[in-house]
């Protein structure tokens, strides 16, 4: 099975990048995942905003406009949102495939 079609492997790749603290790469691959497996624009816009916010927080922290704890808290929230989005897409697709027999 080509990797592009293997949803499990694609999820594992994203989770693996997060495990290795390669958040930026993980979010880029999540954008690819959402584009490939999600209908409509809403989810893609959501992951685009998550990625943009993540970058904004990192920049603010680097420029000392945001303390570590605040930055960490905001990052954590965004990562939950990103991972939940991936789960919701898989669940929605699963229900669609199951209901179509």
Partner 1 sequence: MDKSLLEDAKALRSGIMVHPKDGSAELVQFANKYATTTKLKNNALILRLNCGRAETPDVQSDIQTEMLGLIEHIIKDHEKNVGSQAVKVREETLAKLHRYYLEKQVPNDLVFECKGLTKEYPRSAFKLGEVDLTLRLGQITGVVGQNANGKTTLLRMVAGELRHNQGIINYPVLKQGGELIDWVKVKSEIAYVPQELPPWYGSLADNLHYEAALHGMLGQENDDEVDYVVERLGLSEHLSKSWRELSGGYKLRFSLAKVLVWKPKLLIMDEPLANLDLKAQTTLLKDVRDLAQSLRFPMSVLMSSQHLHEVEAVSDQMVFLRQGEIVYNGPVADIGADRTHNAFELSTSLELVALKDRLNDSRFTDIHYNGVSYLIQTTYETTYREVLEHLLNNQIDILYFRDISRSTKRLFE
70 binds partner 1 (CB under 8 A): no
94 binds partner 1 (CB under 8 A): yes
Burial 4-35 (b: 16+ CB within 10 A, else e): eeebeebbebbeebbeeeebeebbebbbebbe
The structure tokens listed for 84 are 């939940």
Instruction: Taking the CA atoms of 72, 8, 42 and 100 in sequence, report the sign of the dihedral they define.
Output: negative
Instruction: Report the nearest approach of partner 1 to the CB of residue 18 (Å).
Output: 6
Q: Which of residues 11-30 bind partner 1 (CB under 8 A)?
A: 15, 18-19, 21, 23-24, 28-29
Instruction: Report the nearest approach of partner 1 to the CB of residue 84 (Å).
Output: 7
83 binds partner 1 (CB under 8 A): yes
Residue given tokens 């605040």 in the structure block: 70
Q: Are 82 and 59 in contact (CB under 8 A)?
A: no
Residues that bind partner 1 (CB under 8 A): 1-8, 15, 18-19, 21, 23-24, 28-29, 31-32, 35-37, 41, 44-45, 48, 51-52, 55, 59, 68-69, 72, 76, 79-80, 83-84, 87, 90-91, 93-95, 97-98
């Amino acid at each position: 099975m080509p990797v592009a079609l293997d949803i499990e492997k694609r999820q594992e790749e994203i989770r693996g990048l997060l495990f290795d603290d390669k958040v930026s790469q993980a979010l880029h691959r999540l954008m690819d995942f959402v584009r490939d497996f999600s209908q409509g624009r809403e989810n893609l816009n959501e992951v685009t905003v998550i990625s943009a916010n993540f970058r904004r927080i990192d920049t603010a922290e680097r420029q000392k406009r945001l303390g570590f704890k605040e930055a960490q808290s905001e990052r954590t929230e965004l990562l939950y949102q990103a991972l939940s989005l991936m789960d919701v897409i898989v669940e929605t697709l699963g229900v669609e495939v199951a209901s179509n027999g």
